[in-house]
Amino acid sequence: MVKVTVCGAAGGIGQPLSLLLKQSPRISHLSLYDIVNTPGVAADLSHINTQSKVTGHVGNEQLKEAIEGSDVVVIPAGVPRKPGMTRDDLFKINASIVRDLATAAAKYAPKAFMCIISNPVNSTVPIVAEVFKKHGVYDPRRIFGVTTLDIVRASTFIGGLIGAEPSTVACKVVGGHSGHTILPLISQVPGASGKLTPEQIEKVTNRIQFGGDEVVKAKNGAGSATLSMAYAGARFALNLVEAAFFGKSIVECTYVQLDADKQGAQDTKRVIGNELQYFSVPVALGPNGVESILPIGSLSSFEQSLFSKAVAELKGNIAKGTNFVAESKL
């Protein structure tokens, strides 16, 4: 019996994400929470002939029943970007939304695996961690920033360039989830670096780093990536369910606390130093969430040159999230 709660389930990501999760035979209860419209979304999805029960919960007074006893909580709640905005510009509104949802999870589902989609992910993940610490239920192995869309984009863009079926192209993407903090390790993709010129590698790296902006621009004020994010979010959540509850071995890059596996993080710290508590790294998922952090592997000199910029930006993003909770009355 696996209960998955989606917070922000009526939104641009929340609805297609819930649709994809409804198709999984691994989920027994799909709980949909939002401040608007979830009764309708839940009624609609509940007519799909898969086994999971779907419930809809709307407004703060129904948050407890939505989240209580969840095994996995996925959070795509909050505002998306408009052209000209950075993800960090969303902090003002989304930080308190994520903090309050994390508070409910810490109280009513303290063992849940938390999958954070709301931006800025670099800061919202530390917010969730700090809230859980304040409630005395913190386990760094159970809190994840969902950076899967960066991996999905890397497969697609690199696959297109080298003429490979995109889903077969596995590219680690480490770092964070904003512009220069997104670090695709193309030199490790079998068959890719030999086929691409340095100029092509630089160009496709930039496209992966700023893929979100490409969508924001094309949507022209109507939001950011929703459908590809729903796909990526469902991939991550379902992989986590498979690994945590059904014994499957799965490795995904995800933004986690490096303390989740101090030993395993040594390799990453050799490259990024000891300044950062959070980084997206390849993680072996299992019954406890993060079972181990795997090496990020060797980097090309081009990739190495991208790291210093990423580390400086991430440091500020992480401190912003941590300080926000320290200054919040909980």
Ligand X SMILES: NC(=O)C1=CN([C@@H]2O[C@H](COP(=O)(O)OP(=O)(O)OC[C@H]3O[C@@H](n4cnc5c(N)ncnc54)[C@H](O)[C@@H]3O)[C@@H](O)[C@H]2O)C=CC1
**Terminal-residue alpha carbon distance, the chain:** 32
* 163 Cβ contact partners less than 8 Å away, ≥ 6 residues apart: none
Q: Which DSSP helix (H) or strand (E) runs through 155?
A: helix 148-162
CB of 144 to ligand OAA, least distance (A): 15
User: How far is CA 60 from its chain centroid?
Assistant: 24
36 is a site residue for ligand X (CB under 6 A) = yes
**Options 102, 149, 185, 296; binder of ligand X; rule CB under 6 A:** 149
Q: Are 94 and 119 in contact (CB under 8 A)?
A: yes
CB of 149 to ligand OAA, least distance (A): 5
C-beta closer to ligand X: residue 88 or 267: 88
C-beta closer to ligand X: residue 46 or 96: 96
Residue 215: name its binding partner from ligand X, ligand OAA, none (Cβ under 5 to 8 Å by kind): ligand OAA
181 is a site residue for ligand OAA (CB under 6 A) = no
Q: Are 202 and 302 in contact (CB under 8 A)?
A: yes
Tell me whether residue 177 is one of the annotated catalytic residues. Answer: yes
- When CB distances to ligand X are compared, the closest residue is 11
Known binder of ligand: residue 150? Answer: no
Q: CA 259, CA 240: separation in Å to the nearest integer?
A: 19
**Options 16, 56, 80, 126; binder of ligand X; rule CB under 6 A:** 80
**Token digits of residue 232:** 């990526």
Residues in 173-202 at the binding interface with ligand X, rule: CB under 6 A: 177
Give Cα separations from 240 to 34, 101, 121, 297 (angstroms): 23, 20, 18, 23
- Applying CB under 6 A, the span of 23-31, 80-88, 284-292, 322-330 interacting with ligand OAA comes to 80-88
- The upper half-sphere exposure of residue 83, i.e. CA atoms within 13 Å in the direction of its Cβ, equals 8
Residue 91: name its binding partner from ligand OAA, ligand X, none (Cβ under 5 to 8 Å by kind): none
- Which one, of 94, 59, 96, lies nearest residue 76 by Cα? 94
Residue 5: name its binding partner from ligand OAA, ligand X, none (Cβ under 5 to 8 Å by kind): none
117 is a site residue for ligand X (CB under 6 A) = yes
Strands 113-116 and 72-75: parallel
Q: Are 292 and 261 in contact (CB under 8 A)?
A: yes
Local structure of residue 223 (DSSP, 8 states): -
Name the residues that contact ligand X, by CB under 6 A. Answer: 7-8, 10-14, 33-36, 76-81, 90, 94, 97, 101, 117-119, 121, 146, 149, 177, 223-226, 229
Name the residues that contact ligand OAA, by CB under 6 A. Answer: 80-81, 87, 119, 149, 212, 215-216, 224-225
Which positions are annotated as active-site residues?
A: 177
